[in-house]
Structure 1
Amino acid sequence: MNINLARLKEGLPEQKEYLLTYTTGLFQVIDCAHNCYNSADVDWSSFTSNDVKVALEMAMDYLDYDSIYPEDYDIPPNEGNAIHEYLLNVEIIYQIRNAKPEKMYQDLTFF
């Protein structure tokens, strides 16, 4: 399976404004909080204290879907929350890897 990144990028929708404020460090913090159990496994130079502060604020504002009713909100719950974006992307990547599309379509080029 081949993915032409240039064609993929052309087809992507324009990013929402809140996504433009996210930093790589913010997602490094979220990834460490999600996956690291030992502080020795953390690359402490990959994020700043401000990234940690923003991630903590987003964690405090995160709403679990089991405890909310989406119809009670004008804006979808967790929209703009980097933790929510991270978890959605991790789930999508997991599903793609488990589908093993590279074995089903080795000669196919996407995008």
Structure 2
Amino acid sequence: FLAGAALNILTYQVSYLQAIKSKDPAFISTARYGFFLGLSFIFGPLYLILALIFIKPWWMAILAFMMIPVLGVLAWNWFLLLLRTIGGIRIWNLRRTGNALFSRLQETYSMIIKRVSSL
């Protein structure tokens, strides 16, 4: 998780932060893609050069370089799993304490599901 996040944070987070500064909401995704593509052309060769310098068998350095996008996807999946686990713990805590608002929300949800399924 840490390796994937550390190696991919520059390309993804910098493009996200730069796109937020845009005033036009339709332009934000285009700006994110443009910044991501530009930063990929900068950091990609830099990562390859660093891998070739620090990892001595050249074929192993290329394999390590090719693992960077895979590590990014794995880091994102682990992050989503962490958020889901935290949410599950919060729901468990609300059920354990008998929160009235959560109980009402759960009843409303089940009522809506019954009505939609009966259509």
TM-score, scaled to structure 2? 0.30
Larger Rg: 2
Q: Which has the higher contact order (CA 8 A, sep 6+)?
A: 1
Q: Hey, which of these two has a bigger chunk of helix by percent?
A: 2
TM-score, scaled to structure 1? 0.32
